[in-house]
Structure 1
Amino acid sequence: MGPEKALPFNEDLSSTDDYVDSLVEFVGTHELLRTLCGGVHVLDFFTTKDPDLYSRVLPQEWRDFFAQHEIMPILDLLMRDDLESIDASQDRWREGPPVPQSLLDYIRTVRKHLLVRDVKGTQCARNRALKPTQKLARQVIVGMNIKKVHEVGLFARYLSDLGEDISQSTGSEISHLVDFGSGQNYLGRALACEPYNKAIVAIESKSHNAERAKEFDVMARLTEKKKIMRNKKAFRGEAEAPSGSSELPTPPPEPASPVDSALDPTIEAAINAKGSVQYVEHRIVDGDLSEVIQCINGSDPRLMVMSLHSCGNLVHHGLRSLILNPSVKAVAMVGCCYNLLTERLGPATYKLPSLRPVREHPRLAATGDAHDPHGFPMSERLCHYNSEGIRLNITARMMAVQAPQNWGEKDSDGFFTRHFYRALLQRILLDRGLVDPPSTDCAGESPAGHSSGTPVIIGSLRKACYANFVSYIRGALAKLYDDPINGARFKERTMDITDEELLDYETAFSARKKDLSVIWSLMAFSAGVIEAAIVVDRWLWLGEQEQIAQAWVEPVFEYSMSPRNLVVVGIKK
């Protein structure tokens, strides 16, 4: 049961133990990795002076090399080029200067510690080759986009096969699949319908999500539509009333239009479905599911906890449910949103000392000082490494959800431009006295992006705001002016700024946009190791539990479709 290797590590390392030892040491001690993954923030790029951030972080020979090459070849070098074929002593590389040996060594080291994300080399892929991936019925995919159809179709098949394997190896059948944070229950609905016919327990804290999910259940022919007895005359009167007073139900959205290969017209959910979904409204705060289990229909349930892209600590709660609840026999969870994890080991070093701003960022202080027993790291191995443990601040964890291998030329240029605009806005706010510069006196422990102790959060803007720098600044300032606390202060300090002044800023800093793009690319590339550390920590924790018979990690989705594609599986003895 499970893949040949418990972790999908690089073949450059000889064993799982060797990989884990090397990964923990790399994350715990490598200065440049720690700098790129949590030590710097893109908002500091134009506010750090004498020397600038780019010069502080990267060696001179790297900067000289990057200056002579365009960003897309640099991305190829980081993530796609065959390093063995690159001779660092050659005179030229891609019609430019050769790659510095120290840069090649760093790229090679990062790649060695990334988890393999290609499903072709896993047991999951071999199973699919023997038994083609189950496709979804048209009525089951209502509300799903292409990405969700891909994820649900593959993961439903994976979970069904895993449940059968557990039943065969233990002699006892899994009775229910428990979805941690089911949302609108796309995964559970697929598993409850043909051909799986599973009994699903959908845990959801927001009642409106569960009610919407029940509407989709009707469309999937999983349940019958409830008949409502009405006085026809009174009902017609309500129907003729103005829309603001109407209580007619909102029809569910039209189905998305996924690729035809994701659909199979021969698969239809049964009118009298054999599967079932039981919704339980419950706020998950730890792994104790005793209240949920009491609500489950039937006696002596044998449960497998599952999740598709559970955020932050939800995966930790799900894994712990395997230990805290006798009825839970297995877990299979795909995580995401590592930035929402809390800190188990207390305050982290949010910045290099020379890059720390003066004022404190409240949200980061709250999570950093929490000493949350449910947070990262889970495993004793990472908690006690080098006596202080492995700590990852929010900047590092936020970078770990990037997907640089999927960056193409057009979309790369788009988000590099957006980062350039945002970093340059930070410089304008600095020059106008609205944010503080990074300090060299080590006062405060927060990253940039604050004003008077409050984070400066721009959020999303209308597409038209990204047409040019002036439009971006005008759109961003308009949002800042609406802030109920600091809006008046922002308006007072910036309302007199002219378009000509903004264009002067863009002209003055445009030559450094390429440098910003290089730093961001290096940060995103390096942060793949941070994701590996988070996932391996969860696997290590399972291995440290005496009750666990087997645990592994493997990719279950195509990375190009769904970058957070690693499932953590644990099987109880």
Structure 2
Amino acid sequence: MSSSQIRACLEEILNFMQPHWEFVNCHMVSYLTEKHWQNYVPAEIRNEVADVESVQHCIETVFWQNDDRDNKYSGVKQFVANCGKYYLDKNVGVLTTIEQLNQAFGLVADETENLSIKEFMSEKKRHEVEITAKLVDRLIHSVARQNIDTHNYIVDAGDGKGYLSSRLALQYGYHVLGIDFQELNTENALERNRKLQRVWNGLVKRAELQQQGITSQRRGKSKNLPQSAAPMPETKADSAENEALYKTTAAYITPDLNIVQLLQQHFTQATDTSAICLTGLHTCGNLATTCLRLFHEQPQCKLICNIGCCYHLLQEEYAAPEYFANETISARQTTPGFPMSQFLRDKHLTLGRNARMLATQSLERVISERSAMNISLYYRALLEVLISESAEELRQKLQVGKVRKFANFNEYVALCCNKFATQNCNFRWNAAAVERVQEQFAADAHYMHLFYLLRMCFAQVIESLILLDRLLYLKEMGYAGSHLVAVFDAVISPRRFGIIAVKDAASS
């Protein structure tokens, strides 16, 4: 996709979003007190769902069943369809398909099944790690063909527990340096890798047997393997030098971080001519954009494969200062994470924190699981009514956070008031008022659920803006070989889009 095409796509999205910015930036806390249903939901939709029964039927028909057999709720259906036009995977030409990626990198289509190591991680993380590790390996092999005499190293930004790093070292045999801001994370990642390494060969053999439909015996049970089981090849973990393949370091990643120097500190064989693949699996907030800038600033960084997440933690250049829980990280974030492209910077585009929070949510997962809106959202909106009635000066100022283990609204209010006491706020409630607001707004729980789903339709539209901005930045920097790819299953891992770019001889 060319720069001009990306700009045109961004312009279309911005035109679509122009009347909806207040909608996506409204706060669910204020749903009742600021009359969000009346203010933001189009009149056509409000007329289609005139009572609670029609609201429930609309949710079932449009969202859960996706039933288009009649024109009932045509306004809601059109609303959903209008948003869907700007989803990355619905917009032809925006995403690079796996087939197109194979062609761009000269890769042969790979039909082999991923090696499924289920231990030491959740099913979601396994899905992400297996796919990402295999993708990175294939990309590195493609780039290595252009630099035959160059040794390849991998830098994993935001290494965390080392899920991806350890897989790249153990299964694929790469020298990997995991970088994480927190030293405790780097220590835990190494310990996890040591435990995983001790049992790696057994895990590999079990996984390969399972691929053949053979249930392997657990430790302590000896039984001859069936003749159909092929001899197990030696894995990368069998090598004595594997201990040195994966290392970690604690550092705060900035665009000017000298990753070549860091590699040389940990791998003595690394040189200034070594080719580096910069990767990151779910790099949070600004770290994703910092990695793109780091890729541009470091000549030895030949390849990047970055999958971002946590858009709500992005620092916006043109937004008013926002509350940020981790002040240590906030103070070190000197380079804004949005917008990156000159095109959107010229427009001084601001998304807003609530819009970015919305972009992290997954409509696909909600629909797949038929998930009802969390009752705590409704209870918090009811609580805001109580606060507005008895302490107007505290409206939208009290921090509730997560509230657990409540059976009803009365218990929820009691728990919240206990929290307020720790904030030196002596908010008091009247038991009669609690009962009254529940009766007064009983029907609104259903309308709020539909509002929640309608608002969530914008999530992927905002995500499109964020990711296309990153892709355009790379194009503006001269990296024609940059791509936006759907890497994961949308339901299993909603933050599924990867930015992949390679430096050719002209751009190096």
1:294 deviates by: 4.4
Q: Secondary structure at the match of 2:140?
A: helix
1:331 deviates by: 0.8
Which residue is 1:330 aligned to?
Answer: 303
Which residue is 1:441 aligned to?
Answer: none
Q: Mapping of 1:80-91 within 5 angstroms?
A: 81=66, 90=71
Which residue is 2:385 aligned to?
Answer: 427
Q: Is 1:32 the counterpart of 2:19 in the alignment?
A: yes
The 2-side partners of 1:147 and 1:569 are apart by 22
Tell me which amino acid in the other structure corresponds to 1:398. M
Q: Mapping of 1:150-549 within 5 angstroms?
A: 150-171=127-148, 173=150, 175-194=152-171, 196-221=172-197, 270-272=237-239, 275=242, 276-290=245-259, 291-297=261-267, 298=269, 299-300=271-272, 301-347=274-320, 363=324, 373-384=335-346, 388-408=347-367, 412-415=371-374, 417-433=375-391, 435=393, 449-450=396-397, 456-462=398-404, 464-465=405-406, 467-483=407-423, 486=424, 489-490=425-426, 493-494=427-428, 497-498=430-431, 500-546=432-478, 548-549=479-480
The 1-side partners of 2:266 and 2:15 are apart by 44
- For 2:59, which of 74, 88, 101 is the aligned residue? 74
The 2-side partners of 1:114 and 1:261 are apart by 35
Contact preservation (8 Å) 2:360, 2:495 = yes
Go from structure 1 to structure 2 and tell me whether the alpha carbon gap of 1:99 and 1:325 turns closer, same or farther (over 3 Å shift).
same
The 2-side partners of 1:79 and 1:123 are apart by 31
The 2-side partners of 1:273 and 1:133 are apart by 27
1:562 deviates by: 0.4
The 2-side partners of 1:531 and 1:185 are apart by 26
1:62 deviates by: 1.2
1:78 deviates by: 5.9
- For 1:570, which of 480, 488, 501 is the aligned residue? 501
1:262 deviates by: 13
Go from structure 1 to structure 2 and tell me whether the alpha carbon gap of 1:371 and 1:146 turns closer, same or farther (over 3 Å shift).
closer
The more displaced of 71-80 and 118-127 is: 118-127
Percentage of pairs with the same residue:
23
1:168 deviates by: 2.2
Contact preservation (8 Å) 1:37, 1:530 = no
Go from structure 1 to structure 2 and tell me whether the alpha carbon gap of 1:188 and 1:553 turns closer, same or farther (over 3 Å shift).
same
CA RMSD of aligned residues (A): 3.5
Go from structure 1 to structure 2 and tell me whether the alpha carbon gap of 1:567 and 1:263 turns closer, same or farther (over 3 Å shift).
farther
The 1-side partners of 2:22 and 2:307 are apart by 28
Contact preservation (8 Å) 1:124, 1:556 = no
Q: Secondary structure at the match of 1:530?
A: helix
Contact preservation (8 Å) 1:177, 1:305 = yes
- For 2:40, which of 36, 57, 60 is the aligned residue? 57
The 2-side partners of 1:326 and 1:78 are apart by 48
The more displaced of 308-317 and 512-521 is: 512-521
Contact preservation (8 Å) 1:287, 1:317 = no
Tell me which amino acid in the other structure corresponds to 1:281. A
Q: Deviations over 1:51-100 (max 9, x none)?
A: x2211112322101133533474376369737xx566xx5xx2xxxx413
TM-score when normalising by structure 2 = 0.81
Tell me which amino acid in the other structure corresponds to 1:65. E
Q: Secondary structure at the match of 1:27?
A: helix
1:288 deviates by: 2.6
Contact preservation (8 Å) 1:154, 1:556 = yes
Q: Secondary structure at the match of 1:292?
A: helix
Q: Which sections of structure 1, spanning at least 5 residues, go unmatched?
A: 1-5, 7-14, 225-259, 349-360, 438-448, 451-455
Q: Secondary structure at the match of 1:177?
A: strand
Contact preservation (8 Å) 1:136, 1:262 = no
Q: Which sections of structure 2, spanning at least 5 residues, go unmatched?
A: 201-209, 217-231
The 2-side partners of 1:329 and 1:339 are apart by 29
Go from structure 1 to structure 2 and tell me whether the alpha carbon gap of 1:362 and 1:332 turns closer, same or farther (over 3 Å shift).
closer
Go from structure 1 to structure 2 and tell me whether the alpha carbon gap of 1:507 and 1:222 turns closer, same or farther (over 3 Å shift).
same
The 2-side partners of 1:180 and 1:409 are apart by 31
The 1-side partners of 2:192 and 2:14 are apart by 44
- For 2:115, which of 132, 135, 141 is the aligned residue? 135
The 2-side partners of 1:77 and 1:399 are apart by 20
Q: Secondary structure at the match of 2:498?
A: strand
1:274 deviates by: 5.2
Q: Deviations over 1:509-553 (max 9, x none)?
A: 11112222222212111121000110110000000113x241001
Count of residue pairs the alignment pairs up: 461
Go from structure 1 to structure 2 and tell me whether the alpha carbon gap of 1:167 and 1:430 turns closer, same or farther (over 3 Å shift).
same
The 2-side partners of 1:136 and 1:209 are apart by 25
The 2-side partners of 1:377 and 1:537 are apart by 7
TM-score when normalising by structure 1 = 0.72
1:293 deviates by: 4.0
Contact preservation (8 Å) 1:28, 1:390 = no
Q: Secondary structure at the match of 1:305?
A: strand
Contact preservation (8 Å) 1:204, 1:281 = yes
Tell me which amino acid in the other structure corresponds to 2:110. L
